Structure 1
Amino acid sequence: MSSQHIETVVLNTKFGKITAFKKNGVIRAKSIRYARSERFQEPVPVEHFVFDSRFQDKIPVCPQKLSPLVEKMIGRTPVEEFEPDESTQYLSITFPENISEKENLPVVVWIHGGSHEIGCGDLPTADPAEWVKEQNIIVVTVSYRLGLFGFLGGDEKRPPNLGLLDMIEALKWIKTNISDFGGHPENVTLLGQSSGGDAIAHLMISEGVDGLFQRVIIQSAPLGLRHKRQKMSAEFLKKTEEIKDEVDVYKMMDDYGKFVPSVIKYGLKAAMPFGTQYGFPPLCKEEESVEKWRENAKKYDVLIGLNNDETAFYLKTSEALNKYFGKGWGLKIMDKTVEKTTEFIYGTPARQFAENHAKGGGNVYLFRIHSNLKENAIGAPHCIDLPLIFGNESAWKSSEMLKNIPWERLHEHGIKLRALWAEFARTGKISNQLERPEILKIEKIEL
């Protein structure tokens, strides 16, 4: 089979006959609807597979505004491949071509990042084919409602946490159906980066998730921004009331942007105006959250961590800031600001989360990814872990973030990192038997 040959495969599952595609040693069943919803309503599970011709060549995405920063640092968003859909409850499954009927492979569920506002489960930069083929695992990528549709709300007409409820429906679907694809329904690991990691941390204390997953890998979760968001969310909700019934979703996306500056007064947390909200289903009150995580610690194996220079993604790529802080003493101030903000938003909260999990008797590892390249001034910023986990050189060729990093180096470290993460998904452990990339520091937290 040539590298470009794509073969159609029909899968007979209890959910129905699903058309999938075989290429380069993996099979992908894409854009399977697991639930559906009306605007600002809870998701309703779908009982049977129904083919949607829109998604034969398109990717379903929640309506969203493009991020100029993401376009610059990660690469151009393939909008021509997108099909906006408010009811964005879809998942795709990628699994090895050669899999026996009795095989129960570990399942990794990818919850994408994007500040709870942008992205989808099936972006080329998070195509799991390389990882699946290398490590003989199954990866399920999940799309869910974002922004105004999934992570604002605050009353009965516009309930919050709808994106989180979508994820729970996806996990229920996986629990019921993944064995038909060769996956083990009792060996499910949630993998999330950035806001996806934030969502996963909160799924650990959500109602209605018992038995749906056993492990979590939380990468670069901005847990330092999770506190005392109620007032900001309420104000943002009130500001956007006038556009909540807008029929034209493109106009709705254009209009809500004008309200974002109104929440800047809330400080760093305003960098992520959308998010999970405590005190509404499926979450507890904020003051109960730390104890709830400790109570649930024995249920889940945890691998949590960050990149060493997370906020360099935002600060060192700003032309305005570089004008004044790009060299000399200004650069030293910039480096110190990156260090302080990285620790406040990501580093300290990750360690506190890990230590709290260990206090509850849970199994937990804490990691940190560094950059050892002197010619790479940006260091190890937010999102540098994505090409390491997913590979896919062609998808990252226009990334400004990787401009001074040889792909061979990323690939060398990525193979080792993918092996470690897959081992954790299989066993819940990071052993000393596998080789560790020199950019990775990892420790088991025991208190």
Structure 2
Amino acid sequence: MTSHQNMGTHTFHTPFGKIVALKQNGVIKAKSIRYAHSERYKMPVPIQPSDSEIVFREKTPVCPQVISPLLERLIEKTDLEKFEVDESPLFLSITRPENFTDEKLPVVVWIHGGSYEVGCGDLPTSDPEIWVKEQRLIVVSVSYRLGLFGFLGGDEKRPANLGLFDIIEALRWIKANIGSFGGNSENITLFGQSSGGDAIAHLMISEDVEHLFQRVIIHSAPLGFRHKRQKMSAELFRKTEYLKDETDVLKMMEEYGQHLPSVMKYGLKASMPFCLQYGYPPLCKEEESLSKWKHNAKKYDVLIGLNNDETAFYVKTAEEGMYTYLHSSILDKIVRATTRFIYEKPAHIFAENYAQGGGNIYLFTIHSKIRHNHIGASHCVDLPLIFGNEEAWKSAQLLKGVPWEYIHENGKKLRALWAEFARKGNISDDSERPEILELRKI
């Protein structure tokens, strides 16, 4: 099935229906397939198969959200023209190589980050086209409810963890349909960054996920923020009660920000006001979580890790506020201490606990080896390495002073290692490692 023109379409015949996809640059993309529908504060309902053709949308559906000026400055400006706000953003996109034999390809499911509050599955900065072509795998990008709609709950009228239920529904869809796209439904790896990684860690101990995935890749999960959140969540839940039936979602977005918990009162975790909530379906109580991970350790292969200077992104680029006037050596100490607390120590605890349960687990750290790179290996620096989309990343402040050639060389090796893990659940000692990577089996 080779195409001689640069762009065309291809129709996939699936149990779900006929899905029209875009053929370009050596890949086929089936964009914005609705896998489920949701009403406000209700469980997702899977979409039934259809007889009519399912055609991709012009604009990418995205959950209502407040644009983050920090992310825009460091990563990319949001082109609002390309997105369509949808309170039920339960869509997924599939990217696979264009040239295809009868092989069954490994499947990677991308769960985006954004503090459970911003982002969507289908952004130029996480376009998997290069990875898919280089490593011959299928990448499925999933969008789900965020913020007030997906990750704040506390009673039957507004249940907790709805966004997690959305992701589980997407995984069921993938399991049932990915074979029609050439994917191996018995070889599915979940890959998430930041809150996406946190969600994946918790999917490993969720109810009703048996056989939906075999491996996980967890980047920069803020596992240090998962503890003792109950009081903070209850406060935000109470204070936003009056917004629950608001029909104007933009008003909801504008107003909830006035009620966010204070860092002074709740500590650093208040910087991530939305999160998964223990003690509500599909999760166990907080105090049961470590033993549950240990108990499930033989079920999933795990690759977990972080960037060495995760919080530099926030500490060293604050335009105003408490950090601006501090000496760089003090800033470095703040970065080290906060990175250790939020990301590093919890990842080590997770890995040791999992290994004790007999699990197959690798732990990694990504370093910056460039001398004059002010913010080093900060939060999100792994994204251009894995997705390699130069067009989307070339003007990002995050990579200021870092030549793209350096990102490309290291990224190509990293993509090969992560694809090796996705194919077979381990990484050979002989596989070439990028100089920025420290990796060990626990």
TM class by shorter-chain length?
over 0.9
**Deviation larger for 109-118 or 42-51:** 42-51
**C-alpha contact (below 8 Å) 1:126/1:386 kept by paired residues:** yes
- In the alignment, does 2:328 pair up with 1:331? yes
- In the alignment, does 2:405 pair up with 1:404? no
Q: Distance in 2 between matches of 1:65 and 1:113?
A: 15
Over the matched positions of the two proteins, sequence identity in percent amounts to 68
**C-alpha contact (below 8 Å) 1:179/1:185 kept by paired residues:** yes
Q: Distance in 2 between matches of 1:342 and 1:214?
A: 29
How far residue 4 of structure 1 moved from its aligned partner, in angstroms, is 8.7
For residues 129-140 of structure 1, the aligned pairs below 5 Å read 129-140=129-140
**C-alpha contact (below 8 Å) 2:27/2:133 kept by paired residues:** yes
**C-alpha contact (below 8 Å) 1:3/1:24 kept by paired residues:** no
Flag the 1:4–1:192 CA change in 2: closer, same or farther, 3 A: farther
Match of 1:41 in 2: 42
Q: Distance in 1 between matches of 2:121 and 2:93?
A: 8
Match of 1:295 in 2: 295
Match of 2:251 in 1: 251
Offset from partner CA, 1:210-236 (integer Å, 9 cap, x none): 100000000000000000101100000
Match of 1:99 in 2: 100
**C-alpha contact (below 8 Å) 2:19/2:54 kept by paired residues:** no
RMSD: 1.5
How far residue 10 of structure 1 moved from its aligned partner, in angstroms, is 1.4
Q: Distance in 1 between matches of 2:230 and 2:133?
A: 44
**C-alpha contact (below 8 Å) 1:76/1:398 kept by paired residues:** no
Q: Distance in 2 between matches of 1:231 and 1:145?
A: 23
Match of 1:318 in 2: 318
Q: Which has the higher helix share?
A: 1
Match of 1:271 in 2: 271
- Which AA in structure 1 matches 2:224? G
How far residue 47 of structure 1 moved from its aligned partner, in angstroms, is 1.5
Gaps of 5+ in 1: none
Match of 2:424 in 1: 427
How far residue 93 of structure 1 moved from its aligned partner, in angstroms, is 0.3
Q: Distance in 2 between matches of 1:264 and 1:153?
A: 23
TM-score by length of 1: 0.96
- Which AA in structure 2 matches 1:138? I
How far residue 56 of structure 1 moved from its aligned partner, in angstroms, is 2.3
Gaps of 5+ in 2: none
Q: Secondary structure at the match of 1:70?
A: helix
- In the alignment, does 2:66 pair up with 1:65? yes
**C-alpha contact (below 8 Å) 1:89/1:144 kept by paired residues:** yes
Match of 2:357 in 1: 360
For residues 26-425 of structure 1, the aligned pairs below 5 Å read 26-49=27-50, 56-100=57-101, 102-262=102-262, 264-320=264-320, 321=322, 323-325=324-326, 330-425=327-422
Q: Secondary structure at the match of 2:298?
A: helix
How far residue 5 of structure 1 moved from its aligned partner, in angstroms, is 2.6
**C-alpha contact (below 8 Å) 1:263/1:273 kept by paired residues:** no
Match of 1:10 in 2: 11
Q: Distance in 2 between matches of 1:316 and 1:436?
A: 29
Q: Secondary structure at the match of 1:421?
A: helix
- Which AA in structure 2 matches 1:444? K
**C-alpha contact (below 8 Å) 2:97/2:138 kept by paired residues:** yes
Q: Secondary structure at the match of 2:438?
A: strand
Q: Distance in 1 between matches of 2:263 and 2:375?
A: 29
Q: Secondary structure at the match of 1:297?
A: coil
**C-alpha contact (below 8 Å) 1:20/1:27 kept by paired residues:** yes
Flag the 1:185–1:25 CA change in 2: closer, same or farther, 3 A: same
Q: Distance in 2 between matches of 1:116 and 1:250?
A: 18
Q: Secondary structure at the match of 2:208?
A: coil
**C-alpha contact (below 8 Å) 2:17/2:54 kept by paired residues:** no
Offset from partner CA, 1:36-66 (integer Å, 9 cap, x none): 010000001112256677x521000000000
- Which AA in structure 2 matches 1:66? I
- Which AA in structure 2 matches 1:129? E
Q: Secondary structure at the match of 2:10?
A: strand
**C-alpha contact (below 8 Å) 1:311/1:382 kept by paired residues:** yes
Offset from partner CA, 1:237-261 (integer Å, 9 cap, x none): 0000011111011111111111115
Offset from partner CA, 1:249-303 (integer Å, 9 cap, x none): 1111111111115565111110100000000000000010000000000000000
Flag the 1:75–1:293 CA change in 2: closer, same or farther, 3 A: same
How far residue 3 of structure 1 moved from its aligned partner, in angstroms, is 10
**C-alpha contact (below 8 Å) 2:18/2:54 kept by paired residues:** no
